Amino acid sequence: MSSRDHWKSKLGFILAAVGSAVGLGNIWKFPYVVGKNGGSAFIFIYLACVILVGIPILVVEIYIGKKSQLNPVGAFRFFQKGKLPFSLIGYAGVLCGIIILSYYSVITGWICHYLMLSFRGFSGTETEISEIFTDLNATPWLNIAWHTFVMVTVVAIIAKGVRNGIERVSKILMPLLGILLLMLVCYAVTLSGMKDAWHFLTYPDFSKVTPGSFLEALGTSFFTLSLGMGAMITYGSYLKGNVNITKSAVQIASVDTLIAFLSGLVIFPIVFSNGLEPSAGPGLIFKTLPVLFSKMPGGHIVSVAFFALVLFAAITSAISLIEVAVSFVVDEYKVSRMKALVIMGTVIWLLGILSAVSSWNVAGTSFLDLFDKIASCYMLPLGGLCTALVFGWAISNEQKKSEIGSSAFSTALLFAAKYISPVLLLLVFLKEIGLF
């Protein structure tokens, strides 16, 4: 495996992993899930999930990748013990990445469309502005065009390799994302709704928490940390030498959580300043926010900054999604990176067309919703569960400790990964399939 591309620096790895983690899940999903579940009490539960499951599984995935120096399929085969076909977990991960990217690219296309519109500024009545989204969805060629644009961009970045493509782009986009987010937070602080937003995000009201909130928090933390499908295994496989995996995982999870919280701190003041409900749902950034941008002083610049921020976050996540499939084809079939990219890019692009044409559906459910449900509700928790089981029960303690260390913190993480995470992930999965 000496020809394997590796990260140039530890910082490059951290930024690429943060780039994978920070995406639509943080800026689009997290705020509306928080809104729906009553605010800060939910954030406390979310934090507990990140600590008890997110960080341990992140450590496990990075470990599996770094130790094996292989794509998820090869990596699970590397740890094969007994007769159970561990590599199936890797195959499911590759498939899951393909499915997620096919619709993630369509949503990223919507962001591109809104960014373009932001340059002109949103104007018109509330109905007219929220109809932009309905019109976009009803125009298949436009959706396909943006989806194609996103896929070509992602493929062009990946074509340059791990070090010169993924790492370089992450080193530019992640700091830019940080700057844009801080600018937006500074702006949000000046709004009248900031006080209410701060209260909403920091004073827990546990009466709003339902049993379902626990599982939703776990599922969301898993998605936003890019866990359960081998993305972090793949990024871990490009690590070499002495890397403190535990410390890296804590850093990645902390930045991911901070960015999710700051996104809420940008979105909720805007929502509260306009007397709206925080639980607007998935339409929040495509329907509600543009209407508010059109009314706000300086809303034009704020909307450009906001959609650019979301676009950068989405592109770096999309990169990690396709990299899983590409590394699989390169490692397993010994083809060139370029060939693997063309094959996988085309497959994902074709699959994405199903989501881009919103009028196509299965029993009344759009392909986009269906794929999201299959991948993020079933495949990710199940993938995480299997990963935790392999790590906990098929890899010896000596092997783990040689890479992860034996400090009290590492020991606690190993304990959580072996006993706590699988149980909680099993609960999420059973809840998703409706068993309780």
Binding site for ligand PFF (CB under 6 A): 20-21, 23-26, 97, 100, 223-224, 226, 229, 231, 317, 320-321
- Contacts of residue 408, defined as CB under 8 A and 6 or more positions apart, other chains included, come to none
Compute the C-alpha angle 91/22/60, nearest 5°: 45
Q: Which is nearer to ligand PFF, 265 or 319 (CB)?
A: 319
Alpha carbons 322 and 324: distance in angstroms, whole number: 5
Alpha carbons 67 and 247: distance in angstroms, whole number: 17
Least Å distance, CB 260 to ligand PFF, is 8
Instruction: Check if the beta carbon of residue 30 is closer than 8 Å to that of residue 257.
Output: no
What is the torsional sign of CA 365, 368, 370, 376? Answer: negative
Alpha carbons 37 and 278: distance in angstroms, whole number: 10
Structure tokens at 201: 């995000």
- Residue 241's CB: how many other CB atoms inside 10 A? 8
Q: Which is nearer to ligand PFF, 174 or 229 (CB)?
A: 229
Least Å distance, CB 21 to ligand PFF, is 5
Q: Tell me, what amino acid is at 246?
A: T
Alpha carbons 175 and 177: distance in angstroms, whole number: 5
Q: Which is nearer to ligand PFF, 24 or 73 (CB)?
A: 24
Q: Which is nearer to ligand PFF, 33 or 330 (CB)?
A: 33
Q: Which is nearer to ligand PFF, 19 or 422 (CB)?
A: 19
Instruction: Check if the beta carbon of residue 12 is closer than 8 Å to that of residue 239.
Output: no
Least Å distance, CB 413 to ligand PFF, is 21
Alpha carbons 266 and 289: distance in angstroms, whole number: 11
Least Å distance, CB 218 to ligand PFF, is 14
Least Å distance, CB 93 to ligand PFF, is 8
Q: Which is nearer to ligand PFF, 215 or 379 (CB)?
A: 379
Least Å distance, CB 143 to ligand PFF, is 19
Least Å distance, CB 29 to ligand PFF, is 7
Q: Which is nearer to ligand PFF, 296 or 380 (CB)?
A: 380
